């Protein structure tokens, strides 16, 4: 279950251990989950060796918790796994500014994945298409005629579609299996199903089945999120007039991303800062998610554009929304193998893959707003460098109290903040 209250004041002021204890209590984590987080999220070598080939070790990334998220009336603490400063803070800040209208709202499609079968050397594509569609029920029954927990729970192949695809080497017949994967991401199930049914389709068409693989453009598995932000919430100190100006600046920044692919790439990267981080923390295939998310905007009018939409309603509130493919699972894969991933899913308390999809998208929208607000007001570097100062100090070779001292000096510095400057300060500090 989600936490009772995601509003955790002063979390950043606590030690790592104190934060872990607070989150463990709020999310009612088991000792096993707490131990997994306290062990730096590392796999033992035996587990790692089972996951990929030629294992030589493991590598850690920080896991932080975003606060203040209210989604569909429930409070969530959201784990992020990434190396970049300011992301967790920005998402938490924007989530807090979304509370006036009850937080974020989500709406998700059924968990349908696409399995593609590429048919080549088809003599008459029109006739072949007809044969496949006429045999649709039989093919669906064949796909589902296997012992499978997913099918037993109501999943499995639900429909078959056929596309004729003109290419430089001739027209291909592309068969889509639409598979309900329930609470799994579904890659293995879909790939197995595509390979199993391919000979039947060859017999129907007289063609040759070549590629048999899922698509990561999960266009039938969309997640949607929306949030409303008042001018007072968007202001620094609650002043409506200031908030109205901030909203106008955000809308201007968004228009830039909508029309310019060069800007859209960075705009969307900011969205993925959160989406990929939450996905990674929860043991998801974040590369598949990224591929689908970046491809999705191009289907609208054939060009790359903003993943998010920002408008102003009749009352002057800022309204953000997003619709993206979100193929995630809470059964199987790393979400069950990796101890830290299991712990992070326990923090969320999600009960379905669709719930997880909505949460991930909310994190993305909040992070997008944080970036747009910073860019359209004081600039992105102010907040980023404030949190990045300690990293710069460590990179310069600082240890112990030197880190805090250098970070404080960097915060107060009004000129250019460079790594060489920090190194100079450290040398001066050590010379006395």
Catalytically active residues are 84, 269, 285, 384
CA dist 425 and 432 (Å) reads: 11
Burial (Cβ within 10 Å: 0-12, 13-18, ≥19) of residue 148: middle
CA dist 91 and 97 (Å) reads: 10
Cα R_g (the chain), whole angstroms? 25
Burial (Cβ within 10 Å: 0-12, 13-18, ≥19) of residue 168: exposed
Token output for 251: 């809308």
C-alpha dihedral (120, 123, 124, 125), degrees to nearest 10: 10
Beta bridge partners of 208: 120
CA dist 32 and 170 (Å) reads: 56
Distance of CA 251 to the CA centre of its chain: 23
Query: Hey, how many other C-beta atoms are within 10 angstroms of the C-beta on 304?
Result: 16
HSE-CB for 309 with a 13 A CA cutoff: 11
Angle subtended at Cα 32 by Cα 27 and Cα 37, rounded to the nearest 5 degrees = 70
Token output for 165: 């695809």
């Amino acid at each position: 279950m989600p936490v009772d209250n995601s509003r955790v004041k002063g979390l950043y002021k606590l030690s790592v251990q104190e934060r872990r204890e607070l989150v463990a209590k709020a999310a009612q984590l088991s000792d096993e989950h707490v131990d997994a987080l306290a062990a730096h999220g590392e796999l033992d070598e035996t587990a790692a060796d089972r996951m990929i080939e030629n294992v030589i070790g493991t590598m850690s990334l920080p896991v932080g918790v975003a606060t203040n998220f209210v989604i569909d009336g429930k409070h969530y603490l959201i784990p992020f796994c990434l190396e970049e400063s300011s992301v967790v803070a920005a998402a938490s800040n924007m989530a807090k500014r979304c509370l006036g209208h009850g937080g974020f709202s989500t709406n998700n499609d059924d968990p349908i994945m696409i399995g593609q079968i590429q048919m080549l050397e088809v003599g008459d594509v029109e006739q072949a298409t007809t044969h496949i569609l006429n045999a649709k029920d039989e093919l669906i029954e064949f796909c589902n005629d296997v012992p499978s927990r997913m099918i037993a729970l109501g999943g499995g192949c639900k429909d078959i579609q056929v596309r004729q695809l003109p290419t430089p080497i001739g027209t291909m017949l592309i068969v889509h299996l639409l598979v309900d994967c329930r609470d799994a991401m579904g890659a293995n199930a879909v790939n197995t199903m595509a390979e199993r049914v391919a000979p039947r389709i060859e017999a129907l068409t007289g063609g040759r089945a070549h590629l048999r693989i899922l698509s990561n453009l999960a266009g039938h598995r969309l997640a949607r999120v929306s949030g409303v932000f008042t001018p007072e919430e968007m202001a620094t100190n609650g002043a409506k007039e200031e908030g109205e100006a901030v909203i106008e600046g955000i809308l201007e920044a968004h228009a830039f991303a909508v029309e310019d692919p060069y800007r859209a790439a960075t705009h969307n990267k900011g969205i993925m800062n959160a989406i990929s981080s939450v996905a990674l923390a929860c043991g998801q295939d974040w590369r598949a998610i990224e591929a689908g998310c970046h491809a999705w905007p191009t289907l609208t009018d054939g060009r790359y554009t903003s993943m998010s939409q920002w408008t102003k309603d009749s009352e002057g509130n800022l309204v953000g929304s997003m619709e993206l493919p979100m193929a995630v699972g809470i059964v199987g894969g790393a979400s069950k193998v990796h101890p830290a991933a299991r712990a992070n899913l326990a923090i969320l308390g999600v009960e379905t893959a669709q719930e997880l999809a909505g949460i991930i998208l909310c994190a993305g929208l909040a992070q997008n707003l944080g970036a747009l607000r910073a860019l359209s007001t004081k600039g992105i570097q102010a907040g980023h460098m404030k949190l990045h100062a300690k990293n710069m100090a460590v990179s310069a070779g600082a240890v112990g109290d030197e880190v805090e001292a250098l970070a404080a000096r960097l915060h107060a510095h009004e000129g250019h903040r460079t790594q060489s400057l920090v190194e100079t300060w450290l040398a001066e500090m050590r010379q006395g």
